[in-house]
Structure 1
Amino acid sequence: MRTAFISDIHGNIHAVESLEKDLKENGVDRIICLGDMINFGANPKEALDWVRENCDIIIRGEHDTFIAQCEDVFISNPEAIKLADWTYDQISEKDREYISSLPLDYDLDNAVITHDDPSIPGSMYYITSLKDAKDTFPCFTKQFCFYGHTHIPLIFIKTEESIKLIRDVQELKINRNEQYLVSVGSVGQPRDRDPRLSYIIYDQEEGSLIVRRVEYPHLKAAEEILKKGLPPIFAKAVAKMP
């Protein structure tokens, strides 16, 4: 069984099209979406529809929640709020009802999944440091926790002796005596100065985690944001412009 964990598409259909091709080339059996399907990008409806049609399990991120207006979410960035108003108008009431029905976390046989923090799903807490990981590992008992929100692929490993962070790895062999806290990165807006989309494949038979970085037409995605009159800051974030 090969399971793909994707997150933070943020309305970027250009990234989704390249993602879909890569998923097929890598023989993925199941796709799990860890939230933030919409906002920031120029094609929220198309991105949402793709997730609904192709993902086996879907959970809700804070931008999904904010736009569906199903719970109170504090978004401080005025440009994100401005774009959220536009995004709200691009999807239907049925779409918002669907988003509202999605869970904030989910239990698999050997993993817990959430958008941000497994201890308080929906808290919008960023798990990016060894200290964050040290505080988070006691919050789950299964071997894996997969999460999004950070927009950066990170793998924290807890052994009997220590906790370590693995970055910039293509494939990692799993040790059955270790626990893993895995940030799967972002499909639609990576934030590690690498414009390529990122996601994680968990290969259960091979016992490995595979970090996928895939080229996509990010400049085209940025151009479409500008053409639709959306805040330029989001075009710059996708294009990695200064």
Structure 2
Amino acid sequence: MKIAIISDIHGNLDALQVFFESQVLPENFDELWVLGDQVNFGPQPREVLEILRERADIAIQGNHDHAVGFDDDSHWTPAFRAMAEATRRHTSAELSDEQKLYLRDLPLTVQVERGGTRFQLVHATPSDPHYGYLLADTDGWAAELDSVDADVLLVGHTHTPFIRRIGNKTVVNPGSIGQPRRGKPRPSYAIWQDGVFELRNYDYPIETTVAKLQKLGHPPEVEAELVRILREG
């Protein structure tokens, strides 16, 4: 069995289309799992949402999915508040009520078994599914895994790909499709095939996405930061 695992698409249709067209073609994997944040930040949330609703076998709710679904700007951190609020307003205006209902109804976590391996999927951390923020080498993963009744914990949120083994459990973050960070602007994802994980990344037409963002009329400081993240990671 071959499973493609993606996260944090953030309304970036160009990056998502390249993923499907030149990376993991639909006929080349058995299932697609989405670890949250389908929308916000990027210029085409409606198109991204419709593609993933059609193609994802499992999808869970990220903090941006929750915020857009409920029109809720109350939980943004100071560092990202201006950007998150401005893009949330754009995203909310783009989506229909039915699409927002879909985002509201996404589960916070899912547990499944494939090929004898038990997986738990959550956007951030088991203890804080929306906002828990742990990087690859953070000590806090051991405590998080104590509550996980699975062999593998799949997470997103930090936009940073990693695979980490702790005891008899594994934590995997596929990174971000739509807004890669940590100095690497290439989208990344994970493949699980017959018990083995692989992290992959690829190029996409960043300037096409930049041009779309620049037509949305965001405040200059918000636009500049969105463009910087796309170009520089």
Q: Secondary structure at the match of 1:68?
A: helix
Point out where structure 2 has 5 or more consecutive residues left out of the alignment.
none
Indicate whether 1:29 and 2:30 are aligned.
yes
* 8 Å CA contact 1:37, 1:47 repeated in 2: yes
Aligned-partner Cα distance in 2 for 1:134–1:84? 34
1:194-229 CA distance string (max 9 Å, x none): 11110101112xx31010101111122122111222
The answer to whether the aligner puts 1:125 opposite 2:117 as a matched pair is: no
The one-letter amino acid paired with 1:132 is G
| 8 A Cα contact 1:223 1:235, kept in partner | no
Mark the CA change 1:104 to 1:17 in structure 2 (over 3 Å): closer, same or farther: same
Equivalent position to 2:179, from 181, 189, 202: 189
Q: What residue is the counterpart of 1:106 in the other structure?
A: 110
CA distance in 1, matches of 2:207, 2:145: 38
8 A Cα contact 1:70 1:100, kept in partner:
no
Cα deviation, 1:45-78, whole Å, max 9, x if unaligned, reads 0111111011001111011100111778501312
Q: Deviations over 1:93-129 (max 9, x none)?
A: 010111111101000111100101123323x011213
Secondary structure of the structure 2 residue equivalent to 1:130: coil
Q: Percent identity?
A: 30
The residue correspondences of 1:142-157 to structure 2 (distance < 5 A) are: 142-157=150-165
CA RMSD of aligned residues (A): 1.7
> TM-score scaled to structure 1, two decimals?
0.86
The normalised TM-score by structure 2 is 0.89
Offset at residue 79 of structure 1 (A): 2.1
The gaps in structure 1 that reach 5 residues or longer are 160-177
Between 1:101-110 and 1:221-230, the stretch displaced more is 221-230
Asked whether 1:136 is paired with 2:144, we answer: yes
- The correspondence for 1:201, drawn from 171, 191, 194, is 191
Aligned to 1:107, the other structure's residue is in SS state strand
CA change 1:117–1:70 in 2 (3 A) is farther
Q: Which amino acid aligns with 2:166?
A: K
What is the deviation of 1:90? 0.3
Aligned pair count reads 220
Q: What does residue 165 of structure 1 align with? A: none
Q: How far apart are residue 25 of structure 1 and its match?
A: 7.8
